[in-house]
Amino acid sequence: MKSKAWTEKFMQGVFFVAACASVLAVVLICVFLFANGIPAMREIGFVKFITGELWRPSNEIFGIFPMIIGSLYVTAGAIIFGVPIGILTSVFMAMYCPKRIYRPLKAATELLAGIPSVVYGFFGLVVVVPIVRDFGAFLRQAGIVEKAGNGNSILTASLILGMMILPTIIGTTESAMRAVPAHYYEGSLALGATKERSIFRVIIPAAKSGVIAGIVLGIGRAIGETMAVIMIVGNQARITTSMLEGIRTLTGNIVIEMGYATGLHREALIATGVVLFVFILIINFSVALLKRRADHE
Amino acid sequence: MSNKTTLGDKLRTYLKHPGSFIVMLLVMLAALVTFAVLIFLIAYILVNGVPHLTPSLFAWEYTSENASVMPALVNTVIMTLLSLLIAVPFGIFSAIFLVEYAGRGNKFVEVIRLTTETLSGIPSIVYGLFGMLFFVNTLGWGFSLLAGAFTMAIMILPLIMRTTEEALKAVPDSYREGSFGLGAGKLRTVFRIVLPSAIPGILAGVILAIGRIVGETAALMYTSGTVAQIPSSVMGSGRTLALHMYNLSSEGLYMDKAYATAVILLVLVVGINALSSVIARKLTKA
């Protein structure tokens, strides 16, 4: 009897230790990233590192402002393409979809989330890049833009990222809309509103927190996406205002140069990772807050 | 009296409210775009890739003349098994702790929930950086399958924890009470009664995790490295299928092979997704 009690206690300890693994992982990730990134920031100068507009590793000039702007550009582009289509698609899934085809369509949106980012990047490389290149050439001929670009551009990355965040947005928005009590919708219909008016004036406002959480989650996904982006965005560390030109993102900066970087250059790349990590932590925190609010509503 | 609105009713409403009609059209258009894009992507890759699925693609050795996918395929299998071996016990055990042992309103549970949420939001490149700093450099493992597998294990841990937790919660309390009533201890109840009934849910989560491992690139580039051979041990470097595909398309020398590799990746992922949803559906029926 005594040995049995001991086994119970022992296994409870084992379960507890296993549960600590995720906490340990987060602590380790934070410690190792910050410990390896902050010294470089200090050496370069924090303000100079963040706001410096030049990235010349061979001359020991490390400014990641172009990459921060680059990440913001492609993320904003992804939102512009992905959010309207995502939200409207989730309206379709929640309110219009005939029961018979619901299950295959739902599986299709899940599949969209499961496709690896290299495959998205490859698709962008062989399909979207040539289209954007032709589009740029056409715009130049029409005299709208000066430089046509070679297709590896902010626009290309925005289109692919917009595709990639669709499942995130569709998933969260649809479940938020389904969580709205049915009598809201029925009440609105009973007052004579059309189906569309009821959806966009009653259901979506009621599901607001969940919808916004989905968008923020999509932002997190877009800003952290690496492989698909570096395959199609050109990766030039510069600031540009043309959608048809290439830029470099924070994630791209790390992957492209980590292979051969040494010394301060390498530490500056890790510091780039730290900046990205801080962005992500802020985004995660806002998602958690929004979800909590959605639960209280 | 019938509640059914006929097509004519609908048309009349839309005629009266043209704004609503436009909104409805937009909704339909958006859904069409979403699914058309997905179908186009899959069809494009299949049409362009399937003709390149030649026997030489599956040659055992990778050479500069013949960029075979076989080593990458084998590495992917090894990587998947190793990562699961590490992550699944931890994931299941911590879910057991959260559901079966920790009391309600436990502060520690809140902490764990916060950390798993954080983990699932971290982008793969940050995992890659951490894996490089910790497993490759600090622990001195070098670029190796093992370093890659540990990195992947941390990455899939929150997924396995969450799905296992949900599966355990779905087991009715009457099962547990029955087991206790028959005199079984807590541990016996967990392993003999609760876990077996939760297995389909756990399996669905594990299969989703396999999908993530197969498709991962950024986290593996600087942890398992990019050598295109099967290493002699888990301490050697080797590229997985997704990484192989990235290298092929960035080198630009073997685009037909890249297409073929994309087909293999896509088929694997579609298959894995289908399997997971079949199991999940079984679960809801049971």
> Where are chain B's structural domains?
7-52, 55-285
Helix (H, G, I), strand (E, B) or coil at A94: helix
Burial B158-177, CB ≥16 within 10 A → b, else e: bbbbbbbbbbbeebeeeebe
Beta strands in chain B (DSSP E): none
Flag if B115 and A23 touch (Cβ within 8 Å): yes
Flag if B126 and A220 touch (Cβ within 8 Å): no
Per CATH, the number for B55-285 is 1.10.3720.10
Q: How many domains is chain A partitioned into structurally? A: 1
Residue A99 lies in a domain: yes
* Helix (H) or strand (E) run with residue A55 in it: strand A55-56
Contact A205, A218 (CB under 8 A): no
What range defines the domain where residue A106 resides? 64-296
Tens digit of pLDDT per residue, chain B (286 long)? Answer: 445 567 777 788 888 888 888 999 999 999 999 999 999 999 999 999 999 888 877 777 777 777 788 889 999 999 999 999 999 999 999 999 999 888 767 788 888 888 888 898 899 999 999 999 999 999 999 999 999 999 999 999 999 999 999 999 989 999 999 999 998 888 889 999 999 989 888 998 899 899 999 999 999 999 998 888 888 888 888 899 999 999 988 887 888 888 999 999 999 988 888 888 788 777 665 5
CA distance B43 to A75: 27
Residue with tokens 């009440």: A187
Give a three-class secondary structure readout of B71-118.
Answer: HHHHHHHHHHHHHHHHHHHHHHHHHHHHHHHCCCCCHHHHHHHHHHHH
What is the ipTM metric for this complex?
Answer: 0.90
Distances A250 to A69, A80, A225 between C-alpha atoms, Å? 9, 20, 10
Measure CB to CB from residue A96 to each of B14, B27, B90 and give the nearest one. Answer: B27
Measure CB to CB from residue B37 to each of A32, A125, A163 and give the nearest one. Answer: A163
Helix (H, G, I), strand (E, B) or coil at B13: helix
Q: How many angstroms separate the CA of residue A5 from the nearest CA in chain B? A: 9
A161 sits in the region (left: phi over 0; alpha: psi -120 to 50; else beta) called alpha
Task: Count CB neighbours of A107 within 10 A.
Answer: 14
| Chain A residue whose CA is closest to B96 | A15
Distances A76 to A64, A73, A107, A243, B241 between C-alpha atoms, Å? 18, 5, 27, 12, 31
Q: How many angstroms separate the CA of residue B27 from the nearest CA in chain A? A: 5
Residue A42 lies in a domain: no
CA angle A130, A245, B247 (to 5 degrees): 60
Tens digit of pLDDT per residue, chain A (297 long)? Answer: 557 788 888 998 999 999 999 999 999 999 999 999 999 999 999 999 999 889 998 888 999 999 999 999 999 999 999 999 999 999 999 999 998 999 889 988 988 988 999 999 999 999 999 999 999 999 988 888 888 788 899 999 999 999 999 999 999 999 999 999 999 999 999 998 888 899 999 999 999 888 998 999 999 999 999 999 999 998 888 888 888 889 999 999 999 999 888 889 999 999 999 999 999 999 988 888 888 877 776
Residue with tokens 């979506």: A204
Task: Count CB neighbours of B208 within 10 A.
Answer: 22
**At how many degrees (to 10) do helices A154-178 and A65-91 cross?**
40
Residue A14 lies in a domain: no
Sign of the alpha-carbon dihedral angle for B133, B137, B143, B144: negative
Q: Given CB atoms, is A130 within the 8 Å cutoff of chain B?
A: no
